[in-house]
Amino acid sequence: MAETMLKVENINVYYGNIHAIKDISFQVNQGEIVTLIGANGAGKSTTLKTISGLLHPKTGEIVYQGKNIRGMRAHKIVESGLAQVPEGRRVFLHMSVEENLEMGGFTQPAGTIAPNMEKVYSLFPRLKERRRQMAGTLSGGEQQMLAMGRALMSGASMLMLDEPSMGLSPLLVQEIFKIIQDVHKQGMTILLVEQNAQMALSIADRAYVLETGRIVMEGTGKELLTNEEVSKAYLGG
């Protein structure tokens, strides 16, 4: 049995009086791709933001590699090896590709920046070609690559991706999912939040379905892809 990398236990998250996350528990094992799927407003982004320390749960525990990270500052969580690629990519538009990558590595010892950057460039040759280009002039798919590359610069051993396919053309969606698989093959553990349930389930080892702040179903990617309820609600079939 693979080692547990991330364990989320009974978290409850509120925005004022709104109870957005209701007693959610799940885990991600080392080397897995796990996906959280669900409709708009189900609580997917809130879950990721809570794990990465941008929001704080009222109750519950979040354990990463055996360490309780609940309540830790977001940059400390990144330093522990858990990095988030936020929804909408949020690259620094007025900085070059290379400067964006350097920002991703700022928590790392100086000597590791150059080798980490080479690794990112070997994964994303297109970023290397465009390393002096302003991030704001990159295409949507290239910005997604840059956001992933920036997260990898932190020396992360697990990546959380929030809706990486959002706003991309079908061709680019294919490309981004291929990149996620490539990053995974290099040993990365991945927690993926997606509205594109079809694509997410097709690459995921395991998946959880979120509905109005609760986990209502879980299974392997394959099981959920062929599940009738999931198919009706999320796969347009």
Choice from 11, 37, 42, 197 touching ligand ATP (CB under 6 A): 42
Pairing label, strands 158-162, 18-29: unpaired
Pick one of 2, 41, 112, 226: the residue that binds ligand ATP (CB under 6 A): 41
Which positions from 7 through 36 interact with ligand ATP, judged by CB under 6 A? 15, 18, 20
* Shortest separation between residue 53's beta carbon and ligand ATP, angstroms: 15
Q: Residue 167 interacts with ligand ATP (CB under 6 A)?
A: no
Residue 154, sorted as left (phi over 0), alpha (psi -120 to 50) or beta, turns out to be alpha
- Choose between 51 and 120: whose C-beta lies nearer to ligand ATP: 51
Residues 6+ apart with CB under 8 A from 99: 92
Does 195 bind ligand ATP (CB under 6 A)? Our answer is yes
Q: Which lies closer to ligand ATP via its Cβ, residue 21 or residue 138?
A: 21
Tell me: does residue 57 bind ligand ATP (CB under 6 A).
no
CA 105 from centroid of its chain's CA atoms: 18
d(CA 136, CA 94): 6
Residue 29 amino acid letter: N
Residues 6 or more apart whose CB falls under 8 angstroms from that of 196 comprise: 165, 173
Under rule CB under 6 A, residue 43 binds ligand ATP: yes
